[in-house]
Structure 1
Amino acid sequence: MPTSSQPDSIPSARLARLAQLGAELHANSTESAVWAALEQTLADFFGHSLFTVLAFTEQGDVTRLYSTNTDLHPLGTRKSSPTADYDRDNVETPPPPPCREAWCQQVLVDGNVWRGSVREDLKAAFEDWEQLWQAGLGSVMNIPVRLNGVTIGSLNILDKEHGYDTADLKLCILIAQIVACFIHRVAGETVKKQLSR
């Protein structure tokens, strides 16, 4: 138990932000209120210039549920993963980035945080690396969101180079798990809306 001479490992302002996120979820607040609380929580703990939330399906579809920059990363669904779409005989289809399979294994299968420290790490893992570079982004954390041991989504924060070198990965996972049921629900509702159109 910390004494008055020992600093808390999580400053009280950050703990209050985490409590606010929990309160929004507990009260079944609007989606926009929960997204705002989640965005601010991640900003307070880790900082970010771009924050997005992805939902994944077993079929390989990816839906962006939230984005702080919809010009760069618009909301919506992309059918199947870029790796699955790659056709070696079709020169019109560019190959996936060299680390894409490793990213899929680490985040989607193993449920571990993917951390990139420099711009080249973005280029190695993401198809849109040029747009990310142009936006001044050079580091990333993709934080898996899991239910029953299965990755159902990811919280993605990006910032300047070396922005996440000392980030506490256990804290990342804690925040992701706090919102796991919420993301699962929003993803399901989004799919239903798309099917009803």
Structure 2
Amino acid sequence: MPHLAMTDPAPHLAHVAAAMAAPGQPEAGLRALDNALAATVGHRLFTVLVLNHAAGQKQRYYTNMPQAYPAGGHKPIEPVGEYHETVVLAGRPRFLRDRADIIRAFPDHELILSLGCEGAVNVPVRWNGETLGGLNLLDAAGRYHEAQTPLLLTFAALALPAFLHITRNPTETAP
């Protein structure tokens, strides 16, 4: 049985919407998004990945665990693999249900598993038919399920102002 959010998401969605309109962007909005996702869907590790298609690079822009998973740095976008096909090209969430999925999907799976994360979901943030990046939630095995897709995509849509700001200001550094 999938773990589904028991908390009413409406006040959390409203809080993220208000935070995205407040000063201090994009950090204020991303922090509110982190807190709202933790309270509704749940996560141990939350990261925001931003894609710079023009430069062919990706960057971890935000993380709730900066010691284990720091923000910053750039890596090449790899135009192959399950993440690229599902999240970037198709614009659908990718669900990793258990330890075996984590090991298969992530080269740094030992670190991820050491944090108690044996399940994950990568949620695309899209604008005008293009994936600008993703919200990455990691937690216990079985935490994430397709039934959560509408709520996850709603949070991703609320993240759009932050992603547009980041992608239009590529010289800014991650917080």
TM category (shorter chain) comes to 0.7 to 0.9
Determine which of 19, 24, 35 is the counterpart of 2:19: 24
- How large is the RMSD of aligned CA atoms in angstroms? 2.1
Shift of 1:177: 1.0
Determine which of 106, 126, 141 is the counterpart of 1:146: 126
Determine which of 89, 97, 102 is the counterpart of 2:82: 102
Name the structure 2 match of 1:6.
none
Where 1:193 maps in the other structure, the secondary structure is coil
Where 2:84 maps in the other structure, the secondary structure is helix
Gaps of 5+ in 2: none
Shift of 1:171: 1.4
Task: Count the aligned residue pairs.
Answer: 168
Q: Do the aligned partners of 1:65 and 1:187 also contact (CA within 8 Å) in 2?
A: no
Where 1:121 maps in the other structure, the secondary structure is helix
Q: Do the aligned partners of 1:64 and 1:76 also contact (CA within 8 Å) in 2?
A: yes
Distance 1:69 1:148 in 2: 31
Return closer, same or farther for 1:74/1:11 CA change in 2, 3 Å cut-off: closer
Return closer, same or farther for 1:12/1:105 CA change in 2, 3 Å cut-off: closer
Q: Do the aligned partners of 2:50 and 2:59 also contact (CA within 8 Å) in 1?
A: yes
TM-score by length of 1: 0.77
Determine which of 121, 139, 142 is the counterpart of 2:101: 121
Gaps of 5+ in 1: 1-9, 85-99
Shift of 1:77: 2.7
Rg: which structure is higher?
1
Determine which of 118, 131, 139 is the counterpart of 1:159: 139
Identity of aligned residues (%): 28
Runs of 4+ aligned residues of structure 1 deviating over 2 Å after TM superposition are: 10-14, 26-33, 186-189
Return closer, same or farther for 1:103/1:11 CA change in 2, 3 Å cut-off: closer
